[in-house]
């Protein structure tokens, strides 16, 4: 390498904490020996992007497609009957399969686009014309944890990098003072029932791409943001000054300074993070009408409203991916009663997210951010069209169902007010244009300017990808 190049290279390695070194673009340039300047983080990695940010709202536990986004009028006819074998074998994950059950909620066509949506999400119905429904999702497992891992990392096993980590690795961040992948757990707690931190791990990617879970229960937004002992700011500042002086003296005597200088820099960034994170998370700075738009004034959805508003503030400030969790990670797992109000019911869970998510979509739209943001509302699998068996009674619960479910995409580069793919007459199997998790990931990466087959990282013998060896971009949903 020539002197000039290595100088540039050094500068870039010094910016390791920027999330620039260790991202795919730099890795590739370093490998080619062609690195001349810091790559443009917004140019997309492989082609011009349609969006720059992702907000992923994950409904863990299994959202019933039949009761939300997949209109199956034939189920009225089949209600309380055994499922005809022509549709497939009624297998159950837990216990035995019961008889078919019509949707628990009334469906209507919504908006100008006329998308069929149930009354489960009244506020989302109001923004139907923004939504892109994928009605033909299929999953590979009926087991929550492997399913949730796959929905987030592409793999059923634990320890693979999450999509947000891949995006961080592929594209870096637009704001050096904030993590590029932020996770906002439900105020009810870390989603431990869904495998917790495995869902935002950077796996074998460098640790800077790890999702950083923010504390959404009140108190400092991240761990160790301020000294545990509550030091006064003078001491803090002078401590940093002394550290800077000692490190500078040490650096002076050294020839190979890349990582030494990077550490010095990372303290400066850390100091800026101390201010930037609380500022970004301060939703009280929002005017009242915006707070109301998200439902911050309503008890039943205040927690999610805060997280949705925080998500907007974070991406506005350059965070690449924000992931929102609902409940403990499996709170949509309505085996007993879809229509109940409490934990593991749909009616109760929907109230917590409906207005905040709709408010988020409206707010992004009015700020022009929806053009550059993909909002994903996804689940790991659907629920059976037949009820959970209950000693002969027709129960109000439904079991896990990987053969068919619906995921919703909104925003940057997508066809709005559009439904893609279809299930059979009873919603048992995705029969028209089935879409896998790999396809969904490939599509989102494509919207962000990434070819999913070319965003790779070597680990234990394989150039690993988010999409393993599968996945096709669903061109039909792209505007």
Partner 1 sequence: MGSRRNCFALLGTLLMLTSTSTFAKGSTDESFDRGVAPLLARRCLSCHNATTKQGGLDLSQSVGALTGGDSGPAVKPGNLDDSLLWKRIAADEMPPKQPLPAAEKALLRQWIKEGAKWGTAPVDPFRFTTDKRAGYDWWSLQPIVNPEMPHVKNTAWPQNEIDRFVLAKLESAGLAPAEPADSHILIRRLYFDLIGLPPILKEVGGKLKEELLGIEIDVSSPRLSESAYGILVEKLLDSPHYGERWARHWLDVIRFGESQGFERNRIRENAWRYRDWIIQAFNRDLPYDEFVRQQIAGDVLYPGDLDALLATGYLVCGTWDQVGQNEGSAEMRKGVRQDELEDLVGALGQSFLGLTINCARCHDHKFDPISQREYYQAAALLGGVTQEEKERQGIAARPNTREHGEWTKVRDQRRRELDALERSLRDKYGTASDGNPIDGLQVLYLPGEADGKRLDDQSGVGKPLDLAAGGKPPYASAEPASKLIAAAKAANELTIETWLTSSKANQSGPARIVTLSLDKGQRNFTLGQDGDRFDLRFRTTKTDQNGMPSLAIPAGQAVARKTHVVCTFDRAGNVRCYVDGKQVASRRFGGDLSNWNDGFRLALGDELSGDRRWEGQLHFVAIYSKALPPEQIARNFETESRDVRAGESLDALLAKASADERSQYANLRSQLQLLDQTEPARPFDGVAHVIIPNQPPVYHVLARGDYRNPLEVVSPGGLQALTRGGLSADFGLKPDAPEAERRAALARWLADPRNPLTPRVLVNRLWHHHIGRGIVDTPSDFGFAGGRPTHPEILDWLAARFMSGGWKIKEMHRLIVTSATYRQVSNIRNERGQVMDAENRLLWRANPRRLDGESTRDAMLAVSGALNRKPGGPSYRDVTVKLGGNHEFTDPTGEFHEDVNRRTVYRLWARCGNNPFLESLDCPDPSVMSPQRSQTITPVQSLSLMNNRFVEQCAIRLAERTRREAGGDVESQIRRACFAAFGRPPQQRELDLARGFVTKHGLEQLCHVLFNTNEFLFVE
Q: Is 225 in the site for partner 1 (CB under 8 A)?
A: yes
Kindly list the distances between the CA atom of residue 304 and the CA atoms of 125, 299, 356, 364, 475, in Å, as whole numbers in the listed order. Answer: 18, 10, 6, 16, 32
Interface residue with partner 1 among 84, 88, 114, 159 (CB under 8 A) is 159
Q: Is 4 in the site for partner 1 (CB under 8 A)?
A: no
- Tokens linked to 35: 């690195």
- Nearest C-alpha neighbor of 465 from the set 207, 200, 161: 161
Asked if 186 and 216 count as a contact pair (C-beta separation under 8 A), the reply is yes
Shortest Å distance, C-beta 315 to partner 1: 19
For Cα atoms 226, 231, 233, give the angle at the middle one, nearest 5 degrees. Answer: 85
Scanning residues 283 to 342, which ones bind partner 1 (CB under 8 A)? 328
Stretch that binds partner 1, among 59-67, 75-83, 265-273, 412-420 (CB under 8 A): 265-273
Interface residue with partner 1 among 17, 305, 450, 474 (CB under 8 A) is 17
Provide the sign of the torsion angle of the four alpha carbons 347, 352, 357, 362, taken in this order. positive
Interface residue with partner 1 among 47, 77, 81, 239 (CB under 8 A) is 239
Scanning residues 91 to 110, which ones bind partner 1 (CB under 8 A)? 91-93
Give strand pairing partners of 419: 133
Scanning residues 450 to 469, which ones bind partner 1 (CB under 8 A)? 457-463
Provide the sign of the torsion angle of the four alpha carbons 332, 333, 337, 340, taken in this order. negative
- Tokens linked to 110: 């919504």
Interface residue with partner 1 among 85, 106, 224, 288 (CB under 8 A) is 224
Interface residue with partner 1 among 7, 76, 246, 479 (CB under 8 A) is 246
Interface residue with partner 1 among 61, 98, 170, 206 (CB under 8 A) is 206
Scanning residues 400 to 419, which ones bind partner 1 (CB under 8 A)? none
Instruction: Tell me the backbone φ, ψ of residue 476, rounded to 5 degrees.
Output: -65, -20
What is the per-residue DSSP string for 216-248? -SSS-SSTTSS-TT---HHHHHHHHHHHHHHHH
Residues in the chain: 479
Taking CB under 8 A as the rule, which mask of x and - marks residues 48-87 in contact with partner 1?
----------------------------------------
Interface residue with partner 1 among 262, 357, 389, 474 (CB under 8 A) is 262
Instruction: Determine how β-strand 97-100 pairs with β-strand 382-390.
Output: antiparallel
Scanning residues 433 to 452, which ones bind partner 1 (CB under 8 A)? none
d(CA 94, CA 390): 11
Shortest Å distance, C-beta 164 to partner 1: 15
Interface residue with partner 1 among 36, 109, 192, 282 (CB under 8 A) is 192
Residue nearer to partner 1 on the CB measure, 197 or 394: 197
d(CA 319, CA 313): 9
Shortest Å distance, C-beta 149 to partner 1: 9
Shortest Å distance, C-beta 263 to partner 1: 5
Stretch that binds partner 1, among 131-139, 259-267, 310-318, 388-396 (CB under 8 A): 259-267
d(CA 310, CA 282): 8
Q: Is 39 in the site for partner 1 (CB under 8 A)?
A: no
Q: Is 242 in the site for partner 1 (CB under 8 A)?
A: yes
For Cα atoms 360, 135, 466, give the angle at the middle one, nearest 5 degrees. Answer: 75
Residue nearer to partner 1 on the CB measure, 447 or 466: 466
Q: Is 195 in the site for partner 1 (CB under 8 A)?
A: yes
Q: Is 256 in the site for partner 1 (CB under 8 A)?
A: yes
What number of chain residues touch partner 1 (CB under 8 A)? 86
Q: Is 174 in the site for partner 1 (CB under 8 A)?
A: no
Residue nearer to partner 1 on the CB measure, 70 or 328: 328
d(CA 341, CA 307): 21
Taking CB under 8 A as the rule, which mask of x and - marks residues 119-158 in contact with partner 1?
----------------------xxxxxx---------xxx
d(CA 133, CA 111): 14
49 Cβ neighbours under 8 A, 6+ residues apart? 42, 43, 447, 448, 449, 450
Asked if 177 and 269 count as a contact pair (C-beta separation under 8 A), the reply is yes
Q: Is 29 in the site for partner 1 (CB under 8 A)?
A: no
């Amino acid at each position: 390498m020539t002197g000039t190049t290595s100088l540039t290279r050094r500068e870039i390695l010094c910016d390791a904490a920027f999330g620039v070194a260790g991202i795919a673009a730099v890795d590739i340039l370093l490998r080619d020996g062609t690195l001349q300047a810091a790559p443009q983080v917004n140019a997309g990695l492989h082609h011009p992007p349609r969006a720059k940010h992702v907000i992923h709202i994950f409904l863990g536990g299994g959202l019933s497609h039949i009761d939300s986004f997949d209109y199956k009028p034939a189920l009225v006819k089949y209600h309380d009957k055994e499922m005809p074998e022509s549709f497939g074998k009624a297998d159950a994950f837990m216990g035995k399969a019961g008889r078919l059950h019509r949707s628990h909620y009334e469906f209507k066509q919504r908006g100008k686009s006329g998308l069929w949506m149930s009354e489960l999400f009244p506020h989302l119905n109001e923004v139907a014309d923004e939504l892109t429904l994928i009605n033909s999702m299929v999953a590979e497992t009926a087991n929550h944890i492997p399913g949730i891992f796959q929905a987030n990392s592409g793999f059923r096993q634990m320890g693979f990098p999450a999509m947000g980590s891949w995006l961080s690795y592929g594209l870096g961040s637009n704001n050096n003072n904030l993590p590029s992948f932020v996770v906002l757990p439900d105020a009810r707690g870390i989603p431990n029932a869904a495998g917790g931190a495995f869902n935002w791990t950077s796996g074998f990617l460098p640790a800077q791409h790890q999702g950083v879970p923010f504390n959404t229960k009140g108190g400092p937004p991240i761990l160790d943001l301020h000294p545990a002992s509550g030091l006064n700011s003078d001491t803090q500042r002078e401590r940093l000054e002394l550290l800077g002086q000692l490190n500078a003296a040490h650096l002076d005597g050294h020839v190979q300074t890349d990582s030494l200088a990077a550490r010095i820099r990372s303290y400066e960034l850390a100091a800026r993070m101390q201010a930037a994170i609380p500022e970004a998370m301060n939703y009280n700075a929002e005017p009242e009408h915006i707070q109301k738009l998200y439902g911050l004034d309503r008890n039943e959805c205040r927690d999610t409203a805060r997280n949705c508003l925080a998500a907007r503030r974070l991406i506005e400030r350059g965070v690449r991916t924000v992931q929102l969790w609902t409940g403990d990670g499996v709170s949509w797992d309505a085996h007993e009663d879809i229509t109940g109000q409490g934990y593991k019911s749909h009616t109760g869970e929907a109230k917590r997210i409906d207005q905040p998510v709709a408010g988020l979509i409206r707010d992004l739209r009015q700020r022009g951010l929806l053009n550059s943001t993909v909002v994903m509302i996804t689940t790991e699998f659907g629920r059976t069209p037949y009820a959970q068996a209950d000693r002969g009674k027709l129960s109000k619960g439904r079991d896990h169902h990987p053969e068919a479910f619906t995921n919703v995409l909104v925003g940057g580069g997508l066809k709005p007010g559009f439904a893609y793919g279809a299930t059979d007459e009873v919603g048992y199997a995705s029969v028209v244009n089935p879409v896998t998790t790999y396809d969904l990931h490939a599509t989102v990466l494509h919207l962000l300017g990434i070819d999913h087959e070319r965003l790779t990282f070597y680990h234990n013998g394989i150039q690993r990808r988010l999409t393993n060896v599968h996945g096709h971009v669903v061109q039909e949903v792209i505007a």
